[in-house]
Amino acid sequence: MAKQNMGVTDYSGCTEKHKPSYGRVTAPAISHGGGGGEVGGVGGESKFALEARRASTSARRLSAPYVCRWNQEICKQEAIAVLLGPDCCGSVCTDLKNDIFNCGSCGHICFYGSVCCNGDCVDVFSNHRHCGVCHNTCPFGALCQFGLCEYT
């Protein structure tokens, strides 16, 4: 008889006749909600979601067709340059102007809370030339606080 444990069914005690035909057991998907501590809530991107997005971006860069170790010109092809970037770091196509893992030069990482704008790591929460997002300049004399110009 199959046993249930934490949402995963154990078929080890079953005969071949009673095991599922697909041959493998997978764990259930785990869903993380948004802000406010509520599942499915509305809010800013959580640290978990941000790290997942970064990992997804890194995995996409490691796809076989975009390896530039032996041919760095592959990154300059229009479709690849738009998708990943025109520069080659190690063996991966990237964009040195916008990549938080290769900002301005290969291997230069922007720390948590910083964004890569034109090859420089900047804090978009307090930089008056990149307030909230890259290239959003606050009016003369206005301060950038919490990513907003003239926050009061």
The rounded distance, in Å, linking the Cα atoms of 32 and 28 is 13
Radius of gyration of the chain (CA): 23
pLDDT band at residue 34 under the 50/70/90 scheme: very low
Read off the pTM: 0.51
Phi, psi at 47, each rounded to 5°? -60, -40
> Which of 18-22, 47-51, 52-56 is predicted with the least confidence, judged by mean pLDDT?
18-22
Residue 65 confidence (pLDDT) above 90: no
The rounded distance, in Å, linking the Cα atoms of 56 and 67 is 17
The predicted-structure confidence for 104-137, as pLDDT tens digits, reads as follows 999 999 998 899 999 999 999 999 999 999 999 9
